[in-house]
Structure 1
Amino acid sequence: PAYVLRWRDAAHDNASGVIDPERIETVAELPYQLHVDHPEGIELWPEGGAGALLIIYDAPALERTNADTSTVRADVICPS
């Protein structure tokens, strides 16, 4: 499985070592298939609304591709 995780207050954290699990939050579970659709890139995507993420994949599944137009479909995830 593939997940987007949030490490709360990481930017202001000077600690090193083990992180309290309560500071790690699962934001989203991402699509994943054997040998295809491996989440590879992530970007904040304001066009999708507050907190939306654009997810692109390494080895996209056939249903994500269009050979006629040489395009690949990505996902926009809107975590709750």
Structure 2
Amino acid sequence: MVERFFAELTSQVIVRGSFRSVPALVADITRWIGERNGNPRPYRWHADAQKTLEKIYRAWEALLTVCYSNYNTGH
């Protein structure tokens, strides 16, 4: 859930903003957090645990394939 918070902060404040100084950036981040806390919405996890584990396993298998291939070719 922390990742989702920082993704929203990045897309809604940092990417859209133009900051002339670090204090200006900090002020915009503080303002955004204050607005968000004024109307809080919980982050909810909707993914199925089994599907998430299957996705992780597929990624792990793909990574092993690449690593094994690179090992055999000397790269």
Q: Is TM more than 0.5 here?
A: no
Q: Shorter-chain-normalised TM-score: which range?
A: under 0.3
Larger RCO, structures 1/2 (Cα 8 Å, 6+ apart):
2
Greater fraction of residues in helix: 2
The TM-score normalised by the length of structure 2 is 0.27
The TM-score normalised by the length of structure 1 is 0.27
